Each structure stands twice: as C-alpha cells, then as structure tokens.
Chains A and B, each alone.
Chain A
Amino acid sequence: MDIAQTESEMAACVAGASGPVAIRGGGTRGLVLPGEVLTTSGLVGVQLYEPGALTLVASAGTPVAEIETLLAAENQQLAFEPMDHRALLGTSGAPTIGGVVAANVSGPRRIQAGACRDFMLGVRYVDGTGAVIKNGGRVMKNVTGYDLVRLMGGSWGTLGVLTQVSLKVLPRPQAQATLCVPDCDMAQAVKTMSVALGSPFEITGAAYVTDRAEVLLRIEGFSGSVAYRTGRLIDLLDRLGAVELRAEGAASGAIWKAIRDVEAFAGQPGDVWRVSIKPSDAPLIAPRLKADALLLDWGGGMIWARVPAGTDLRARIGQMSGHATLVRADPETRARLGMFHPQPAPLATISAGLRARFDPRGIFNTGLMDRHQPLGV
C-alpha cells in the first residue's frame, strides 16, 4: 500500500482496502496484526502551536520527540508524560503522537495532571468506510455533540485511522524534587503514598520500587514552591518513618523517566503486564501475581508485573475490580490470552456495536480489542 501523504490519500487507502489493515504509527509497540500495514508515517507536521493558549495541533504521524522539542523551547510539555515503549519491548522506530493518543499512553503524572485522554481537545480520523470525520476542536471546553475525541483515545485504531490530533499542553515545571521513604513493605508503601496524595502538596509522581522496598514521591513547580512543599511533606511523612530527599533537578527527572518507561524490566526475561486497580487493593492483589518483579506507579493504582513467559496473569488474579493488560509477550501468548481484559457482556456488546458502526467491514486492527468477536472480513 502506498504511504498516504495527506488525509485524503489516507481516506482513499482505507476506502480501497480489500481486506484487514494493520494501522501503524511508529511501530514501537511490537504488535503484529493481520493484514496490510497502513502507516501514518506520511502524515507529519505541527499545524498549530499557540503557547499562550496551551494548544497544539499535529498530524498523527508526527514523532513525539519532535513535539516535545518544540514544546520545550517554550518551556511547555505534554503533561501526561507518555512512556517510550522501545526499551521495554525491544522495538525500534519513533513513537508518534497518533500512536500515543490511540493507546492513551499516560505516565506517572497521570495521578495529578490526568491521562492522555484528559489532554485531548480534538481529532480527525478516517472511519472504516473511508469517510473523514472530525470531532472536538482546539478549545479547552467543548460539549458540542458527543465526545468522540475521548472515544478515539485508547481505541487502538479499532474505530478509525487518526489523521490529526489537538492537545492541551502545560507549562514545564521550573524545578522538581524526589523524596524517598525507604524500607516499606507494600502495605506501608501504599499507605504512605495515600497520605502524600491526600495532602495539599500536589504530588506529581508516587511509585513503589519493590526490589528496593522504597517509595518515591515527586514534587514539581516553581523552585521556591518545590522547596516549601518538599519540607512540608517531609514533616508530614516523618510520622510514618524516615524520609529523605533523594534527588533534585535532572537527577530527579531521570528517576521518573526510568519509572515511566519501566526500565527495570527492559532486557529482563518474561512477559510484562500492567494491572489497573484501586490503589488500596494493591497489597491484596500483588501477592496473587507471584511475579518475578513488580513496580507500582500511580500511588499503587498501576502495577507493572514481570512474570514467566506464557503466564495467564488474569487467571492468577481471579476476581478483581480493574483490568490487566498484556504489554509484552510472544505472539502465541498474545493470541492465546489477548492483550485486553475481557469485558462483561453488556459492555462487550456496546463495544462491538460501536466497532460495527465505525468500521462496518471490520478491517481495522482485527483481533486486537475484539478477539472474542467474529472477524468481519
């Protein structure tokens, strides 16, 4: 298939498709899907960036790095801190903004700033019939009709091919610091993070590194404010045990990049899962995983687990409120277990209904989110 250089070429590619298509941004997720590859790599460029309005509009295939460089020049950033999957998954290529949006990729700052979907202002996409659809726009508040913007975020290309996204951006904090609470077991760790997150001091990262048994907390903002809040937080947490200032500035940044990208699991054997739960459930659910390695982010609400290849982690968890996503595994395991948690019947019916409307021929990323549904082609 030719590489579409414009939205209308993309629409023509979709309309002319005679079978399944595998939509690909930078190809950094290591997914192998049936059908011809449809890449967004020809759809690049930033159409609009207004620092004074905190707004950015870019073509879906634009590399994230290019956007981050542009924002950094104005002391701004993508506040949802999207992870770079390459080290963890052993992939190459360049992550694209469309790929980030399609997978709703959100890093440690999700607990305070929000997820990728919370920063989405508008989308343009090509649906399964080849029609170009727009929804939302480039303004911060918009209830004009249904919110298909968020629906497209995290839909993994199963509802349409994103061609353009509008995002809200935020100021890049002037300073940051990382506090460490050492020697915590998991229950203590989740309690400590809960106390910190329930304080007025605006924690922007709360992780538990299990192999070192330490809680890490990030504070960001203007330097005077960071110093003040760091001091107050140390006072607050001192009641629960020792607290130390672990790092500031770039060194603190490096700690959170490692957590964001789950660097500890890169190059290590086994499958990688990400389990989204209520934070206080972490001490109950983590032991059931019997994982080789764990990393808790989002104050305990996100468990990264490394387990022996082929493990059915969902079976190990059993009943849960939340969901488990298979992030890294060989194709056989992926095919057997599916990437996404099965949904209860009424939700699965709605999801299947939406897919049937947005992609009536069932050609987009087949088997990815709809593995329990018959393929349409």
Chain B
Amino acid sequence: MCPAVWPCLGHGGLSNPVIGNINLPKWGVNMDMPTPDARVLARKARIVACLQQVLPQDAVIHEVAETRAYECDALTAYRCAPMAVVLPACTQEVSEVLKICHREGVPVVPRGSGTSLAGGALPTEDCVILGVARMNAVLETDYDNRVIRVQSGRTNLSVTGAVEPEDFFYAPDPSSQLACAIAGNIAMNSGGAHCLKYGVTTNNLLGVTMVLMDGTVIEIGGAHLDAGGLDLLGLICGSEGQLGVVTEATLRILRKPEGARPVLMGFDDPEVAGACVSDIIRAGVLPVAIEFMDRLCIRTSDNFANAGYPDCEALLIVEVEGSEAEIDAQLAQIVDIARRHDPVELRESRSPEESARIWLGRKSAFGAIGQINDYMCLDGTIPVSELPMVLRRIGELGREFGLQVGNVFHAGDGNMHPLILFDANLPGDLEKCEALGAEILKLCVDAGGCLTGEHGVGIEKRDLMWHQYTPADLEAQMAVKDVFDPSWLLNPAKVFPLDASESRRGSKRAAELVGDARA
C-alpha cells in the first residue's frame, strides 16, 4: 500500500550510486549484485542481433542512453542500466527471446511496470530486461463464469476498468494499482487494502500462460476453480519472476457490492486501538478494510491533506460493504464495540463525501510523509495480537538509531508499513535507515510474522531471509527454481541471499558458457 518511496532520491547526494561489484558502506545490509559476466558483455552485439531477428526493430533497446530508462524500479536508490531491453508483444515473442537468452547464457530480468519497492526488477549490467508493457490486451471477458483473461502487462486498475461497465471488479488493489501490471502482481502476490475480505493475488488467479527460461510455453489452470495436479499456480504466485515469464492470466472477477462506507475512530493509546481491532474481528464482522495510522502519520497527513483527523495516538478506519441497511447494521455493531474502548473520536460516514474525507488522509499518508522527508517503506507482517509489543519496540529502535518511524498499516491482517524518515543528503543516513529497517523486519519475524507481506524480497530483504529460514528451508525453495530454471538465468540474484544461491548461479552458468564456447 505505498506509492514511490524515497521521492527525493535522485535529486540528492545519492543520485547516481553505482552498483554491481562496488560496495557502498553498509551497516550489515548487503544490496550488492553479482559481478557482471564479462563473457556475456563481450557478446552484446551478437546477442542484440539475435534478438532483433525475432522482434520488431523498436522492441529491442540497446543504446546506453535508452537502456538507462530501465535502470531501476521503485527502489530508486539502486540503479544499473541493463545490457539490453526487449518489449515483446505476445507469448510467442517472449518464447523466442527466452530461447535466445537461454542459448547465450544471458540473465533475464522480467519487468512489469517497474513499481517494485524491493528491487525485484533491478537489472544487472549483463542482463536483458524483458518488459511486458506492450502485452496489455484483454483477451476475453466472461461474466457467466466470472473470469477475465488478460495479457500480463495490463495494469491492475485497467482490469477492473474493463469489467466496470458490468458492475464487476478485480479484487486485489495494491496502492500502485494505477501503474502496476498484473505480471508484477503475480510475481509479488500483491495484496492491497481490501484483502482482509477478498484475499491477495494467489486467491484470485485461476490460470496462466507462462514461458519457461528455455522458451517452453506452459498453460496452468484456466476458468475452472481448481487447477489439476500439484498447485503450480500457487507456486508461481510470489516467485518474483524467477520461475517463468507469465504472459497471460485468467483472473477471477466479482460483482461489485451494493455500497461501502467507513467509520473513523481515534484512540489515545495504540494498544487500545489494537484491542479494538481484535474485538471487531471476534464479533464476527468481517470488514473489507481495517487501516491503522499512528500519531506521526495522523498529524503529517492531516497537515498535508486537511482531512480533519483528530489529534490522537492511533486512528482506525474500518470499512464495511453491502446495502445501505446492511452497512448501517454492521457499522452500528462496530461503533458499539469501539465505544467500549473509550475512543476520543468516532465518525461514521453518512455519504460518499464523508467517506472520501475519511479516506483522504490515509490515501495521502505516503505522499505527505514524502513532503517532509525522505523515507523508506517497510512491509513486515505480524500476528495482530503482537501489535502493541511491536509498535512499542519500533519506537524504541527508532530512538536507538536516532530516526523517526511512522506507522501506517493494514491492521486487519497485520501487514505493517513502518515508514522510516531519513535525509538522503546526509552522508550515512541511508545506511542507518537500512540498518534500522533490517532490525524492524527481524522484530517482525521474531514476533511470529514475516519479512514481507506484499512487496516481495527482491534485493532489499535477500540477506534477511537467513533470519526467517534455516538453510534447509531455503534449499527447499531453491530446489523449486532448479526445476523451473535449471540454469538459474531468470532474475537470478533476487530473493535468496547471494551466498546461498552462489553455487547455483556461478557453476551452472559457467558450465553452460563453456558448452557454448565449444559449440
């Protein structure tokens, strides 16, 4: 649920950090990328020529000035122009591209719309970026079976846009939904504010057409509700573009509810707000969204958006759906529960205007924080019951590091979004911020949660995987990649700690290149 992070980066002192084999000073957070393969770089001309044979001229980008447009995703502190960029228009073209890259031993980094906050689409110097942006067609809408089939480059919001005239919608709603592509949603198993009721991408994806690294096209699932055999669809969702390139997706669409309205509640104590969330859920109400903001975020976003938020320690926005009468009944029940927790404010929306005003501050929270500072947005998830402890500990850690942390998050499902404020122009501040971020994410894991709820691991949280998983756990995951992509060429330097994946990336690539040289 957050738009671009670090909005001021790129204009400040870190505008042109070089990655690759150059180490930035770190507080134990390693964002390095593997050394580019000189043998691949040496064959750039030949590789580009091969790609140009299977794609239209304008679909292969290789001039250095132009490839720079793809040097980063929304984790803008880390940049590296790729060797080339391809923009195929269909499954067949994707297959041709991958066959070439497979044969030539070129790493491929798939890219949706480049909105990843975790560096999921960060290139390496020796890679080909495979962008799906030109594959944005709706292939089929089927209201009788409540599915839509789209090319994977289509943006999330425009999927809903395609079925809105019939009052249907596609449920996952990451806050980047105006820009983000379905391909990236599948890669990161994206969620959004409404997933408490509707689930995340994996719960709404019924089928894919996917191209494996060797060019093989596979079809999994379809318009039926359970794909046969092992749950490969579930495996692909959230695999960060490491198992294959999804080119088409069959998505579940739902009829829009008759209406929706929120209630806003303010509390003097975050722990009380947490208890209120728990009581609402226990009462059997299932809101579509429960959003939480702490004092820093309340004040910042209220100053920015003038939403009229109360001056308090914690704010909840709880939204329910249904007919007018159903909404009234649910809100009455929720308000009843909230009153038992002595709220400092209770504001039930009575109209679309009031609803918009309640949501206004929440929706502008990230932008508002960005106005006052650079910030880094985290994405750890915790058991809801650990909320008070985790909030307290985040405050303590922030003081230890001398950095402010604001908290905005999806309280219903425990998906936190701590925002660490820092100054990109102050030498060492980014590193300090990253180190604090790592401590907060470890805290989430120690509290029974995980490193990332919906943004993905990318490069950002790679090394922290050791904190959540044992070597055997990681080995089991990497074994999956061995099956789908034995040569480890698809987005190889992401998700897994580099030291864990090194033997796979290194030796196999080398062996392949030796084989290639002999041929």
Contact = CB atoms under 8 A, between A and B. Distances in A.
Interface in A274-313: 276-280, 298, 301-302
A133 B235 contact: no
A353 B483 contact: yes
A147 B235 CA distance: 5
A276 B226 contact: yes
A225 B144 contact: no
Contact of B284 (A144, A172, A228, A276): A172
Interface in A124-154: 127, 131-135, 137-151, 153-154
Interface stretch (A32-40, A60-68, A177-185, A336-344): A336-344
A153 B234 CA distance: 9
Interface in B408-423: 410, 413-415
A252 interface: no
A159 B382 CA distance: 28
Contact of B323 (A137, A155, A228, A341): A228
Contacts, number: 255
B461 interface: yes
A111 interface: yes
A168 to B, nearest CB: 9
A197 B225 CA distance: 14
Interface stretch (B348-356, B468-476, B509-517): B468-476
Contacts of A321: 222-224
B231 A357 contact: no
A141 B172 CA distance: 12
B255 A200 contact: yes
Contacts of B483: 350, 353-354, 357
A256 to B, nearest CB: 17
A346 interface: yes
B457 interface: yes
B284 A357 contact: no
Contact of B476 (A117, A141, A358): A358
B303 interface: no
B450 A358 contact: no
B231 A53 contact: no
B454 A141 contact: yes
A199 B496 CA distance: 44
Interface stretch (B75-83, B187-195, B308-316, B391-399): B187-195
A346 B322 contact: no
B336 to A, nearest CB: 13
A111 B225 contact: yes
A182 B391 CA distance: 56
Contacts of B239: 146-147
Contacts of A357: 479-480, 482-483
Given A143-B456, A347-B218, A171 B449 contact: no
B191 A350 contact: no
Interface stretch (B9-17, B274-282, B339-347, B425-433): B274-282
Contact of A369 (B230, B283, B472): B230
A354 B414 contact: no
A367 interface: no
Interface in A324-377: 325, 340-341, 343-344, 346-347, 350-351, 353-354, 357-358, 369
B257 A358 contact: no
B319 to A, nearest CB: 16
Among the interface residues B452, B474, B483, which one has the most CB atoms of the partner chain A within 10 A? Answer: B483
B228 A151 contact: no
B484 interface: yes
Contacts of B278: 52-53
A228 to B, nearest CB: 6
B229 A351 contact: yes
B224 A276 contact: yes
Among the interface residues B144, B168, B238, B382, which one has the most CB atoms of the partner chain A within 10 A? Answer: B144
Interface string B167-179: 1100000000000
Nearest to B235: A151
B281 A53 contact: yes
A346 B212 contact: yes
B95 to A, nearest CB: 12
A198 B480 CA distance: 37
A278 B224 contact: yes
A contact residues, range: 35 or more
A54 B281 CA distance: 8
Given A139-B413, A298-B225, A346 B216 contact: yes
A132 to B, nearest CB: 7
A104 B216 contact: no
A278 B145 contact: yes
Given A127-B476, A346-B218, A146 B235 contact: yes
B238 A143 contact: yes
A137 B225 contact: no
B222 A142 contact: no
Nearest to A360: B479
Contact of A150 (B202, B224, B381): B202
B286 to A, nearest CB: 6
Given A111-B225, A321-B224, A357-B480, A144 B468 contact: yes
A58 to B, nearest CB: 16
B440 interface: no
A141 B415 contact: yes
B222 A141 contact: no
A151 B286 CA distance: 28
Contacts of B143: 194, 198
B190 to A, nearest CB: 8
A113 B218 CA distance: 28
B456 to A, nearest CB: 5
A134 B145 CA distance: 36
Contact of B329 (A139, A140, A222, A341): A222
Nearest to B284: A171
B384 A106 contact: no
Contact of B230 (A50, A106, A154): A154
A52 B199 contact: no
A50 B224 contact: no
A50 B386 CA distance: 11
Contact of A52 (B203, B330, B385, B481): B385
Nearest to A225: B326
A147 B218 contact: no
A279 B322 CA distance: 26
A347 B212 CA distance: 11
B34 interface: no
B23 interface: no
A108 B195 CA distance: 21
Interface in B450-499: 450-457, 461, 465, 468-470, 472-474, 476-477, 479-484, 495-496
A174 interface: yes
A28 interface: no
Contact of B385 (A50, A158, A197, A302): A50
A75 interface: yes
B388 interface: no
Nearest to B217: A346
Given A53-B383, A171-B284, 19 more contacts: A50-B385, A51-B281, A53-B278, A55-B383, A142-B450, A142-B453, A145-B496, A146-B477, A147-B235, A147-B239, A148-B480, A155-B230, A171-B283, A191-B144, A278-B224, A279-B144, A301-B225, A346-B216, A354-B483
For the complex of A and B, 9 pairs with smallest distance between CB atoms: A150-B234, A52-B278, A323-B228, A141-B453, A171-B284, A353-B483, A140-B413, A278-B223, A357-B479
28 contacts: A52-B278, A131-B472, A137-B449, A138-B383, A139-B413, A143-B188, A143-B189, A143-B452, A145-B457, A145-B469, A145-B496, A147-B234, A148-B476, A148-B477, A148-B480, A154-B230, A158-B230, A171-B281, A171-B285, A174-B284, A198-B255, A228-B326, A276-B225, A276-B226, A301-B225, A322-B224, A353-B483, A358-B479
Interface of A: 50-55, 74-75, 104, 106, 110-111, 114-115, 117-118, 127, 131-135, 137-151, 153-155, 158-159, 170-172, 174, 191, 194, 197-200, 222, 224-225, 228, 232, 276-280, 298, 301-302, 321-323, 325, 340-341, 343-344, 346-347, 350-351, 353-354, 357-358, 369
